[in-house]
Amino acid sequence: MSKHSTESSAYAALGASSAKGGVLAAVGETGPARYFASPVDDPAGDPNYAFFLHADGAGTKSIVAYLLYRETGDPSWFRSLATDSLVMNLDDIACAGGLDGLILSNTIGRNRSLIPDEAIAEIIKGYKQCIGTLEREGIIIRMSGGETADVGDLCRTILVDSTLCARIPRSDLVDTTNVTPGDVIVGFSNTGTARFEQAPNSSMGSNGLTLARNVLLSRSLASKYPESCDPNLSTEVAYRGPFNVTDYHESLGMSVGEALLSPTRTYAPLIKTLLKDLRQHIHALIHCTGGGQVKIKRFGRGVAYHKDNLFPTPPLFSLIQKHGKVPWNEMYSVFNMGHRLEACVPAEVANDAISCAKEFGIAAQVIGRVTSSEGDNSVTIKSPHGIFSY
């Protein structure tokens, strides 16, 4: 069995990186990480507290919202981008144990000649709606304002980014060096409808959109809306799919555009309960975003992760693989492939974690196990599509 790179060549051809190896090297993060997000010393000077200041956003998912808006004339498609931007920050920090003292700021950069004020209003409504939903689930976020900039010379359509900060006791941090051979990996599904969601989730999340969009959507969209495509990309790789964003697909139960725009599920309410009930048993929480099912490789020390009981591949990812002719080993290193949260726990508490997830309407199961590794961390995936080692 050959060892595969964590980098996707299909993704790289589109000018993006799934593993972000160059970025990690530039900032000096070349070895295993101790915490899922990076805490710093408490600005208030209390050595017993850690502080997080985390930035992320909806990424190129905003282009899907833009295309749906242009095809339908409905600016409400922009609303869910707020959820994507917020959750990509929140769930990263939550995996490190940070669910208190949460304060949010947002930044929107737009090309004003193409993005109307009504779109901005929808995004702001989206932030308020998402924060309200989280508050009902016991997650309190204060919104401190933000910035909307008209930067048409820099931005072809729209960027929706957020910054989230949290201040938590150091004793509450989830330290991934506690991952132990003999642990099992519990995966928490990214499909279905969680109790705090309004519609079924396609499992898309907010990573891999550059690849997904270009292999599924038709060249006609790039011709109609050239601002939605990097002009430096070859037509052989950009917008080479068979679908319009409004095309309904039976396997998805929704349009292709709706599936790509499906709001990023937050696991924060579930994580809050897991940490309340099982904190002493949770050795790591992994948010499977950039890097997909191989993300876990960056955490823990001297361990090998074996994933041999994954959830069935969601229809959206099967479509991406088929129409993009993306090798399955790359699919697993780019996309979440059906679950976007993992917990490494002792085997005897796995059923407790699974039962907790069911209370939120989230399917969960043991998807793998942890063994020792004499060298660097590794990930092996055994699936109906093949066996892949990273």
pLDDT in tens, 358-368: 999 999 999 99
pLDDT value of position 22: 47
pLDDT in tens, 157-205: 999 999 999 999 999 999 999 999 999 999 999 999 999 999 999 999 9
pLDDT value of position 289: 94
pLDDT > 70? residue 6: no
Determine contact, residues 221/239, Cβ cutoff 8 Å: yes
Residues with Cβ within 8 Å of 63's Cβ and at least 6 positions away in sequence, in order, are: 157, 209, 213, 228
Closest by Cα among 369, 381, 211, 382 to 390? 381
Q: Where are the alpha helices (DSSP H) in the chain?
A: 9-12, 21-26, 61-72, 81-95, 117-136, 209-216, 219-224, 256-261, 268-278, 315-324, 328-334, 350-358
9-389 architecture in CATH?
Answer: Alpha-Beta Complex (3.90)
- Percent of the chain past pLDDT 70, that is, above it, reads 94
pTM surpassing 0.95? no
pLDDT band at 98 (very low <50, low <70, confident <90, very high): confident
Output b/e per residue, 279-315; b: 16+ Cβ within 10 A. Answer: eebbbbbbbbbbbbbbbbbbbbeebbbbbeebbebbb
DSSP secondary structure code for residue 185 in this structure: E
pLDDT value of position 170: 95
pLDDT > 70? residue 30: no
The stretch 282-308 carries a mean pLDDT of 97
pLDDT in tens, 235-272: 889 999 999 999 999 999 999 999 999 999 999 999 99
Separation between Cα atoms, residue 242 and residue 320, nearest integer Å: 11
pLDDT in tens, 319-352: 999 999 999 999 999 999 999 999 999 999 999 9
pLDDT value of position 23: 47
- Percent of the chain past pLDDT 90, that is, above it, reads 90
Q: Where are the alpha helices (DSSP H) in 279-370?
A: 315-324, 328-334, 350-358
pLDDT value of position 14: 80
DSSP secondary structure code for residue 328 in this structure: H
Of residues 274 and 6, the one with the higher pLDDT is 274
Pair of tokens at residue 163? 């910054």
pLDDT value of position 73: 98
- Write down the domain spans for the chain: 9-389
pLDDT value of position 10: 78
pLDDT value of position 26: 47
Pair of tokens at residue 111? 């090309």
Task: State the average pLDDT for the chain.
Answer: 94
pLDDT > 90? residue 11: no
pLDDT band at 31 (very low <50, low <70, confident <90, very high): low
